[in-house]
């Protein structure tokens, strides 16, 4: 993206010290070396950067939160350890390093890629997904053979399951964004998303029976609230391995199709995976396809961020404007700093059914309307330097959303409660690849309404959970179906092409 000047060289000692001091779990004994990973050279990270930090520093500044976001992204983007090398889902390969490639040249899947996909948790008819965490996704037989396209040995191909059942307040949708609109890149391909949850959150959903909407409603009827989400991964039976002892964590990834025959120049700038996309009909499997990562949302709960959770969002750096001499990526021209007109960011209509799997679709003219804040840019430069030599140097943090830090001003309240005692650091926070038509708002404009199914109304802090994952659970009751339109209307209003002069003023404390 055309957001900042060339990366400057700055001192990295402070960030390395922060990384070393913020890791809250005991180090797991190193497993046997992975046979599939080939070490990359270049990244200058602590040896334990693979461990997801449990929490941010005590009495954190906003800079601490920014570094915490990067620490989390690096750890969950660490190469996973395959089952053939003795690994479990979500287990990092501690003998490897971020950005590692396999012997066949494929990038090794990340830890977050091996989390449980939401499609394996919220099942049709409210089927129990089972106590067993280690159930890797298997590619359906209807998908074509992967052929000579390289996939890291010991791992399945990427499989984005866009099929779903309809009996849920919010039907899982990997084509349309939260606003109900799709995004087509400049090459004419639809972009798609995916959602994974970590072991803490999986155990929470499965053990409480929240994979069934009626069970959520019953919990509210009994006690007025759901069981609390895990904050540190402890107290779960059976105990989680030490590398997984952190709180509930969700990852939403956004992908574009890359064509090796014509995209050779830009492919090295993307984290890529060969795989498949299952169309909404549940029958039509597209691929094998080379997918490039364009966006990454991380939502997590920690011991000190329970009031709002913690949010960190990342994008591939070329999302709006490609570097000089390279083909356009998501959109062009990019016009940051808010200088957009009505012809930009016009939301297309909701897509229903299967999408055309070709590059002949009309591209969306997308613009970045809010620049990355200067403080975030500075932190990005530090981390991008530490990640030199890996594909992750081509990703940047958009921002974090977190409880208002010590000494920070202004702070912002958010809907629907607008509680002056519960404030966040920003009121404008959007990822152009995931919230393309909602960029003058923030996560809380939607997620402040997040509840389980059957939550008492009006919404109170007791039943405000900030995630919509539980709304994807099966519930065939007529009340759940009837509430779906009303629930989505809270945040799926048609986006306006007009920009707010000072959008942050709407929720300033």
Q: In the prediction, which pLDDT does 195 show?
A: 98
Q: In the prediction, which pLDDT does 4 show?
A: 36
Across all residues in the chain, what is the average pLDDT? 86
Q: What is the per-residue pLDDT across 165-181, written as a single tens digit (0 to 9) for each?
A: 999 999 999 999 988 99
Helix axes 13-21, 374-386, angle to 10 degrees: 80
Q: What is the per-residue pLDDT across 209-258, written as a single tens digit (0 to 9) for each?
A: 999 999 999 999 999 999 999 999 999 999 999 999 999 999 999 999 99
Q: In the prediction, which pLDDT does 335 show?
A: 61
For residue 141, count other CB atoms closer than 10 A to its CB.
6
Which residues, 6 or more positions from 231, have their beta carbon under 8 angstroms from its beta carbon? 247, 248, 301, 302, 303, 306
pLDDT for residue 33 is more than 50: no
pLDDT for residue 341 is more than 70: no
Task: Measure the N-to-C terminal CA separation of the chain; round to a whole number of Å.
Answer: 32
Considering only CA atoms, give the Rg of the chain: 21
C-alpha triplet 324, 327, 328: angle, nearest 5°: 95
Q: Which is it for strands 37-38 and 116-117: parallel, antiparallel or unpaired? A: unpaired
Q: In the prediction, which pLDDT does 25 show?
A: 31
What's the whole-model pTM score? 0.88
- Give the confidence band of 306 by pLDDT, cuts at 50, 70, 90: confident
Q: Please check whether residue 162 is in contact with residue 357, taking contact to mean a CB–CB distance below 8 angstroms.
A: no
- Give the confidence band of 340 by pLDDT, cuts at 50, 70, 90: low
Of all residues in the chain, the percent with pLDDT exceeding 70 is: 83
pLDDT for residue 73 is more than 80: yes
Q: How does DSSP assign 335-393, residue by residue?
A: --TT---TTSSPPPPPP-SPPP-SS-SPPP-----SPPPHHHHHHHHHHHHHTTTSGGG
Which residues, 6 or more positions from 420, have their beta carbon under 8 angstroms from its beta carbon? 413, 509
Q: Please check whether residue 308 is in contact with residue 458, taking contact to mean a CB–CB distance below 8 angstroms.
A: no
User: Out of 100-104, 118-122, 369-373, 503-507, which region has the weakest mean confidence (pLDDT)?
Assistant: 503-507
Residue where the block lists tokens 């943090």: 397
Q: Phi-psi bin for 281: left (phi > 0), alpha (psi -120 to 50), beta?
A: alpha
Residue where the block lists tokens 């074509």: 144
Residue where the block lists tokens 């995931």: 434
* Residue with more model confidence, 60 or 494: 60
Q: In the prediction, which pLDDT does 509 show?
A: 66
């Amino acid at each position: 993206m055309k957001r900042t000047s060339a990366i400057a060289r700055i001192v990295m000692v402070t960030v390395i010290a922060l990384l070393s001091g913020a890791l809250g779990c005991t180090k797991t004994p190193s497993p046997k070396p992975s046979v599939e990973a080939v070490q990359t050279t270049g990244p200058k990270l602590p040896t334990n950067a693979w461990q997801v930090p449990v929490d941010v520093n005590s009495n954190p500044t906003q800079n601490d939160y920014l570094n915490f976001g990067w620490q989390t992204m690096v750890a969950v983007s660490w190469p996973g350890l395959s089952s053939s090398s003795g690994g479990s889902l979500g287990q990092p390969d501690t003998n490897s390093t971020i950005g590692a490639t396999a012997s066949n040249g494929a990038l090794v899947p990340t830890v977050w890629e091996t989390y449980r996909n939401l499609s394996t948790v919220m099942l049709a008819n409210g089927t129990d997904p089972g106590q067993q965490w280690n159930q890797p996704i298997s590619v359906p037989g209807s998908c074509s053979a992967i052929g000579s396209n390289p996939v890291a040995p010991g791992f399945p191909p990427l499989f984005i399951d866009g099929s779903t059942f309809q009996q849920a307040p919010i039907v899982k949708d990997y084509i349309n964004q939260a606003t109900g609109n799709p995004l087509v890149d400049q090459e004419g391909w639809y972009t798609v998303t995916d959602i994974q949850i970590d072991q803490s959150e999986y155990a929470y959903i499965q053990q409480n029976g929240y994979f069934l909407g009626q069970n959520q409603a019953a919990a509210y009827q009994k006690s007025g609230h759901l069981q609390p989400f895990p904050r540190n991964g402890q107290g779960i039976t059976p105990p989680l391995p030490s590398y997984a002892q952190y709180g509930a964590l969700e990852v939403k990834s956004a992908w574009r199709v890359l064509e090796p025959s014509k995209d050779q120049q830009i492919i090295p700038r993307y984290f890529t995976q060969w795989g498949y996309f299952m169309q909404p009909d549940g029958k039509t499997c597209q691929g094998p396809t080379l997918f490039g990562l364009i966006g990454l949302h991380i939502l997590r709960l920690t011991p000190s961020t329970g009031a709002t959770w913690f949010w960190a969002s990342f994008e591939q750096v070329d999302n709006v404007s490609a570097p000089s001499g390279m083909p356009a990526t998501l959109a062009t021209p990019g016009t940051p700093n808010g200088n957009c007109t009505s012809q930009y960011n016009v939301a297309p209509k909701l897509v229903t059914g299967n999408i055309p799997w070709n590059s002949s679709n009309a591209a969306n003219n997308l613009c970045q309307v809010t620049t990355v804040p200067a403080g975030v840019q500075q932190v990005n430069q530090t981390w991008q330097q530490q990640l030199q030599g890996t594909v992750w140097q081509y990703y940047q943090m958009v921002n974090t959303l977190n409880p208002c830090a010590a000494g920070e001003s202004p702070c912002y309240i958010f809907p629907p409660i607008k509680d002056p005692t519960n404030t966040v650091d920003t009121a404008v926070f959007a990822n152009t690849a995931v919230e393309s038509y909602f960029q003058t708002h923030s996560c809380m404009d939607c997620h402040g309404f997040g509840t389980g199914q059957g939550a008492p109304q009006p919404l109170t802090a007791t039943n405000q959970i900030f995630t919509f994952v539980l709304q994807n659970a099966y519930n065939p009751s007529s009340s759940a179906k009837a509430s779906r339109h009303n629930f989505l209307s809270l945040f799926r209003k048609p986006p306006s092409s007009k920009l707010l002069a000072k959008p942050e003023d709407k929720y300033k404390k």
